[in-house]
């Protein structure tokens, strides 16, 4: 399983027309490699599916949190996506990518007054209001700044998809959004409609991430449309926009078989159209905000293998020059990954080993059970599907510098994030007087 990647004439792993061994040699390891062609293909799959399966305007948005760097925001915007941002840092990154603030949609479960002022000053297109505190803050700030805020309300439709509990967001017990079931959502709609400078454009939901079935999305879309229908009757809500969030899963291992983007979008389109007709609602602009399914499978991390420790009858640890500081997902979510040796990706596996990182923690293991051929120190390991929530969640634990990232396309590698240096690591340290 090479996750859509091929091999070079020499039999090495190939990404975007580049030999993985050449990339490792030229840019060092650990190295994030992002296949620009694959990322663009994923973006187009959403755009085309929306155009094919939804008979009214639509707006895809890239959830930049999955991989927020200037280059990914550039690519997403070039492909006609808006950018979902959750912080001033993400807004700033998207701005540097040339994305007009009007094409950004601002999320967050505890936006500060400073962030809201910044977003309004920049002219961010939509603010997704998460709670009553934020709604009242916006009222105050829009009056003070004498400007309008175009908002969606984030609702929790009470759907709990099968995914890791840390990444479920649409259930009743969630820090996010206004619950439909408890009545908060209704109260929020009524309140928003009272506020003179808060323009309620529509509703938003995001039920979780790495979801591998269509059903929970369908249930959420139904719950949202039913709520919109009720609010039209009871509160005079006009649903100009409906944002059904992101969450589509990707293939990390063979066991993950996500639905096609087109299948998901088709199912959602049908529900929105049918229920809009049922409730006499004009078709809203349909927004989706995928992150993982845009960049996840396009990303590969290359490592150099080092120490090998075999504990007979127990386990063999193969250590690499990265670890939880650049990919915390295994430690956080028991994430699963597939790896190959970059010089012979199709070589039959002869052993099951643990791929360990180099942080000072026993739990710093990237893959607990990797199937590999015999390996030697100095060889390059490629771990697939690391494009989403790896670099964006990386840190400097143990003062390891964060890896570089190259985007590859048609045989040309371009550095889009430079490797951190030792000086970068201490740049903000302030020594005490001697």
Record the tokens describing residue 173, joined without a space.
Answer: 């017990």
**What's the CA gap between 348 and 357, in Å, rounded?**
24
Window contacting ligand LLP (CB under 6 A); options: 43-51, 205-213, 366-374, 413-421: 205-213
Task: Tell me which of 68, 73, 359, 360 is the catalytic residue.
Answer: 360
385 binds ligand LLP (CB under 6 A): no
Q: How far is the CB of 393 from ligand LLP (least distance, A)?
A: 6
Residue carrying the six token digits 């590859």: 408
**Residue from 290, 299, 387, 413 in contact with ligand LLP (CB under 6 A):** 290
Q: How far is the CB of 34 from ligand LLP (least distance, A)?
A: 15
* Longest Cα separation, the chain: 75
Residue 360 bears catalytic tag: yes
167 binds ligand LLP (CB under 6 A): yes
Q: How far is the CB of 176 from ligand LLP (least distance, A)?
A: 8
Q: How far is the CB of 395 from ligand LLP (least distance, A)?
A: 13
**What's the CA gap between 140 and 254, in Å, rounded?**
51
Closer to ligand LLP by CB, 293 or 338: give it. 293
> Residues 278, 281, 286, 289: is their CA dihedral positive or negative?
negative
Closer to ligand LLP by CB, 130 or 139: give it. 130
Contacts of 252 (CB under 8 A, 6+ apart): 335, 336, 337, 338, 384, 385
Q: How far is the CB of 103 from ligand LLP (least distance, A)?
A: 16
* DSSP conformation letters of 306-338: EEEEEETTTEEEEEES--TTT--HHHHH-----
Q: How far is the CB of 257 from ligand LLP (least distance, A)?
A: 16
**What's the CA gap between 199 and 37, in Å, rounded?**
38
**Residue from 186, 289, 297, 326 in contact with ligand LLP (CB under 6 A):** 289
170 binds ligand LLP (CB under 6 A): no
Using CB under 6 A as the binding rule, the residues of this chain from 59 to 88 that contact ligand LLP are 63, 65-66, 84
**Residue from 64, 210, 327, 338 in contact with ligand LLP (CB under 6 A):** 210
293 binds ligand LLP (CB under 6 A): yes
In this structure, are residues 131 and 180 in contact, taking their beta carbons and an 8 Å threshold? no
Q: Is 406 exposed, middle or buried (0-12, 13-18, 19+ CB in 10 A)?
A: buried
Closer to ligand LLP by CB, 290 or 413: give it. 290
**Residue from 46, 389, 391, 400 in contact with ligand LLP (CB under 6 A):** 389
How many residues line the site for ligand LLP (CB under 6 A)? 23
Provide the terminal-to-terminal Cα distance of the chain, rounded to the nearest Å: 57
Q: Is 410 exposed, middle or buried (0-12, 13-18, 19+ CB in 10 A)?
A: exposed
Using CB under 6 A as the binding rule, the residues of this chain from 233 to 252 that contact ligand LLP are 245-248
Record the tokens describing residue 22, joined without a space.
Answer: 């050449």
As annotated, the active-site residues are: 360
């Amino acid at each position: 399983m090479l996750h859509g990647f091929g091999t070079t004439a020499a039999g090495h792993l190939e990404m975007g027309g580049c030999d993985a061994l050449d990339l490792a040699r030229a840019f060092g390891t650990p190295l994030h490699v992002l296949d620009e062609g694959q990322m663009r293909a994923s973006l187009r799959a959403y755009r085309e599916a929306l155009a094919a399966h939804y008979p009214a305007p639509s707006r895809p948005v890239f959830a930049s949190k999955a991989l927020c760097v200037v280059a990914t925001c550039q690519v997403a915007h070039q492909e006609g996506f808006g950018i979902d941002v959750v912080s001033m840092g993400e807004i700033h990154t998207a701005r540097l990518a040339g994305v007009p603030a009007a094409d950004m949609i601002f999320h967050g479960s505890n936006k500060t007054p400073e962030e809201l002022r910044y977003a309004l000053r920049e002219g961010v297109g939509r603010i997704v209001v998460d709670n009553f505190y934020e709604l009242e803050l916006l009222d105050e700030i829009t009056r003070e700044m004498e400007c309008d805020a175009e908002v969606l309300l984030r609702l929790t439709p009470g759907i709990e998809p099968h995914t890791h509990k840390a990444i479920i967001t649409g259930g009743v017990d969630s820090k996010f959004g206004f619950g439909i079931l408890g009545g908060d959502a209704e109260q929020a709609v009524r309140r928003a409609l009272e506020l003179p400078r808060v323009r309620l454009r529509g509703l938003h939901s995001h039920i979780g991430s790495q979801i591998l079935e269509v059903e929970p999305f369908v249930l959420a879309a139904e719950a949202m449309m039913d709520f919109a229908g009720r609010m039209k009757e009871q509160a005079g809500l006009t649903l100009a926009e409906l944002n059904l969030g992101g969450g589509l899963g990707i293939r990390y291992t063979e066991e993950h078989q996500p639905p096609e983007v087109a299948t998901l979008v088709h199912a959602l389109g049908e529900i929105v159209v049918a229920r809009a007709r049922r409730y006499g609602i004009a078709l809203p602009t349909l927004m989706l905000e995928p992150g993982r399914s845009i960049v996840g499978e396009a990303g590969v991390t290359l490592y150099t293998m080092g120490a090998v420790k075999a504990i007979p009858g127990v386990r063999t640890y193969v250590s690499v020059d990265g670890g939880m500081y650049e990919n915390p997902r295994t430690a956080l979510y028991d994430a699963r990954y597939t790896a190959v040796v970059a010089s012979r990706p199709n070589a039959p596996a002869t052993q099951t080993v643990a791929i360990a990182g180099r942080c000072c923690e026993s739990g710093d293991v990237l893959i607990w059970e990797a199937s590999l051929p015999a390996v030697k120190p100095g060889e390059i390991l490629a771990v697939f599907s690391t494009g989403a929530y790896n670099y964006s969640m990386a840190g400097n634990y143990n003062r390891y510098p964060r890896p570089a990232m190259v985007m590859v396309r048609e045989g040309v590698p371009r550095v889009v994030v430079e490797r951190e240096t030792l000086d970068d690591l201490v740049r903000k340290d302030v020594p005490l007087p001697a």
